[in-house]
Amino acid sequence: MKARILAGLACAVLVFSGYAEAKEEQKSSSSVQIQKVEQKIKSKSSDSKEAKDLNILRSANDVMDEEEVKLADINWTKPAAGEAQRYERSFENAPPMIPHDLEGLIPADNNMCVTCHMPEVAKDVGATAIPKSHLYSIRNKKDLDGKLSDDRFNCTVCHVPQANVEAKFKNNFKPEYRDANSSQHSNLLDVLNEGVR
């Protein structure tokens, strides 16, 4: 019995020493990779677009060091719901940005967005109405008779508040809408299967 225990301990020591060596090898391999990337950056000319892009990314935040991650101080939009100016959609059927403050509106268990944005209420309070694609189960191909699909309950998965920040990169994208209404309203459910055979 003692021999088996000793043999088991010997195996455990060998396994753990191998693990430590593998971990050390992984660390040195990682530092070699970092050195190779840094050499590649240095070898590129300083006016090269790729070198500039890499330097911008590295200066923004060193992804190798998670210990010193600091959240940016972001100035979110402050107008209350009902007082904010709407943003044009980024592209046709894009989820619209949230133009108002979200304080107290979106805990995960109590979605206050639907109190103003359900279609039967939205027109009276001047809010953007939830489109019919949210009142339909795309997965089950079923109209939910005006009930919000459970798939759409967490609004901030797609809809995000606007931050008052200056863009770090120029955006040349220009949206093209098929009709004037598309910059403010969604017709996703109507066009979802366009081009699908």
In this predicted model, what pLDDT tens digit does every residue of 87-133 receive, in sequence order?
Answer: 888 899 999 999 898 888 876 677 888 889 999 999 899 888 999 99
Nearest CA among 122, 113, 120 for reference residue 145: 120
- Closest C-alpha to 155, from 121, 105, 88: 105
Mean pLDDT of 133-159: 90
More confident residue, 22 or 1: 1
The pTM for the full model equals: 0.58
pLDDT in tens, 68-77: 777 777 778 7
Contacts of 185 (CB under 8 A, 6+ apart): 131
Q: Mark residue 15 as left, alpha or beta (left: phi above 0; alpha: psi -120 to 50; beta: remaining).
A: alpha
- The Cβ of residue 122 has, within 10 Å, a number of other Cβ atoms equal to 15
- For the record, the structure tokens of 98 come out as 């949230």
